[in-house]
Amino acid sequence: MNGCEGQQEERHVGVCHTRTLPAVSAPESAVSELRSAVAALAADAPEFSSGIIRLEVPIKQRSEAVAWLHAQQTLPRVFFSGRGGWEADEDAAEERRSEGGSNLVSVAGVGSAVYFRRFEPFSFEDWKCIRRFLSKDCPFIRAYGALRFDATTKISSEWKNFGSFYFTVPQVEFNELEESSKLAINIAWDDNLRWPWEKAMDGLLNTMDQISPSASSLQRQVPRSTVLSSSHTPSKAYWDVCINKALQMIKGENSDLLKVVLARSSRILTSAEINPITLLACLQMEGQKAYQFCIQPAGGPAFIGNTPEQLFHKEDLQVWSEALAGTRARGRTVRDDLKIRQDLLLSRKDDVEFSIVRENIKTKLEIICDEVRVESSKTIRKLPRVQHLCARLSGRLKREEDEFYVLTHLHPTPAVCGLPTEEARRFIAENEAFDRGMYAGPVGWFGGRETEFAVGIRSALVGKGLGTLVYAGAGIVEGTVSSSEWQEVELKASQFTKLLQSEGVSPSVENRPGFAVANALAGALPLYKQPKV
């Protein structure tokens, strides 16, 4: 059922309800409990023409959501893992714990109780269609998905199943908590959308018949294979041309362009087919203070990523965002790492790039929020392979509906597009030779009380017959050196390229331009424990 089809007059569906069943000791028992509960539910149809119902079974042991997802074969499927690390978020998490709550670590889901997709740009009406199925009384009924980076551009074949945006409330969902787990089902129906209760129940029963109860440990290793080919779009030569063109505009008297972010798509074909969930699990090994995600519509490839960048997090009317820009590799030793950190903090070029991002986000939040607070100084966000300049911003929305405007105003940030936004977007559309799709677009979820979106960078599209398309970008400002930015995108892509490379790589591939650099950068992961900022 596509929740964006047809006309919905009422603000919410007829009923939105969550029922928690008795706790069990293992995932296998949870499947059995849900089957019995669904059978009882099928015999007692609600007296509403539309609604959404969630049944959930607490599991006393903690199991990994990504391992559960790996055991499933049903499409569509989604995965989202949150990111900690900011004091404000940690304080809120501790408050929930003190109230007897338990925070979600990761969510995996298969099937679709209701999905939302159009091929036109995401609108306020589309947001209201999603909100119809959500309620503050059912905070864990959530719609997971993503939006295109630029919905005004033509959708290429590899992205066609995603539309301009794609969100789904899973039929069957596994929640990994801090000390336990949950297995849940969601069933949604709407007579006006030609998806009555009986049809929704048949769909759920069909999905449950395919569910594997297993949530055993997952081997985090991509199968050994040979890289058959590796190619970049754009090539290094065209990359240089585009950067020079961008720099000429930035320096030109008749242009307002201050910054533009150019990206690269690298297609890697391997002798063995890559399971996107296995690759996602490997990315979790590098997932300190980063979001991991997977979105795979029925019939389409999987969009996966390991992004450090938050677009925004909303809880009731409170909203948080962050500025993230400037990139350096991690050092091989503690001393090297601190030296690189200091170089990043003192870099004039990176400070310009960072200040553009921070001030732009502040200006956009001030339009929507009653008050906006900005951290007075920039800090360093350290990840396993790279480190960035960052700063925290927060504000309070004036009304609930402003959630839509937070999403559409903050995206695209100067960190993934440029400034001014429209000039940078136009330059990208006219000069990039590939479709970004959901790369660098908002990725996350809408919930009854909370909403959270990351920026879909450090990401890849993985599918049968497609290979692995790895995306990475770099910000171009006055003072940019083309070769340095090429090395930066190599560094950002290396978390994927390292996993896909093996001893079986053919010499012809190793000799491709940029491939040796990727190997060198991929080996820069320090072995010591990451220092806290």
Residue-wise pLDDT for 491-501, tens only, equals: 899 889 888 87
* The predicted structure's pLDDT at residue 515: 33
| Averaged pLDDT for residues 195-218 | 89
CA proximity to 67, closest of 184, 207, 214? 214
pLDDT at 508 over 60: no
pLDDT at 320 over 80: yes
227-500: which CATH topology? Anthranilate synthase (3.60.120)
| Averaged pLDDT for residues 21-30 | 93
pLDDT mean across residues, the chain: 86
Per-residue pLDDT band for 95 (boundaries 50, 70, 90) equals very low
Around Cβ 132, how many Cβ atoms within 10 Å?
20
| Averaged pLDDT for residues 508-527 | 32
Residue-wise pLDDT for 420-429, tens only, equals: 999 999 999 9
* The predicted structure's pLDDT at residue 99: 37
* The predicted structure's pLDDT at residue 222: 75
pLDDT at 203 over 70: yes
Residue-wise pLDDT for 233-269, tens only, equals: 999 999 999 999 999 999 988 889 999 999 999 999 9
The residue count of the chain comes to 533
Domain boundaries, the chain: 15-66+113-142+150-210, 227-500
Around Cβ 443, how many Cβ atoms within 10 Å?
27
- For 154, the 3-state DSSP assignment is coil
* The predicted structure's pLDDT at residue 216: 65
CA proximity to 373, closest of 394, 348, 402? 394
* The predicted structure's pLDDT at residue 528: 26
| Averaged pLDDT for residues 307-319 | 92
Residue-wise pLDDT for 348-367, tens only, equals: 888 888 888 888 899 999 99
pLDDT at 532 over 50: no
- Report the C-alpha dihedral over residues 80, 285, 391, 103, rounded to 10 degrees: 50
Indicate the DSSP class of residue 413: P
Amino acid 281 reads: A
- For 142, the 3-state DSSP assignment is coil
pLDDT at 97 over 60: no
| Averaged pLDDT for residues 159-184 | 96
- For 92, the 3-state DSSP assignment is helix
Residue 99's Cβ-count burial label (10 Å; 0-12, 13-18, 19+) is: exposed
Q: How far apart are CA 79 and CA 153, in angstroms?
A: 27
Q: How far apart are CA 167 and CA 78, in angstroms?
A: 9
Amino acid 482 reads: S
* The predicted structure's pLDDT at residue 287: 64
pLDDT at 202 over 60: yes
* The predicted structure's pLDDT at residue 289: 77
Residue 391's Cβ-count burial label (10 Å; 0-12, 13-18, 19+) is: buried
pLDDT at 215 over 80: no
Which tokens belong to 493?
């892509």
Residue-wise pLDDT for 55-68, tens only, equals: 999 999 999 999 99
Nearest 5°: CA angle at 179, between 178 and 182? Answer: 85
In which element (H, E) is residue 346 found?
Answer: helix 334-346
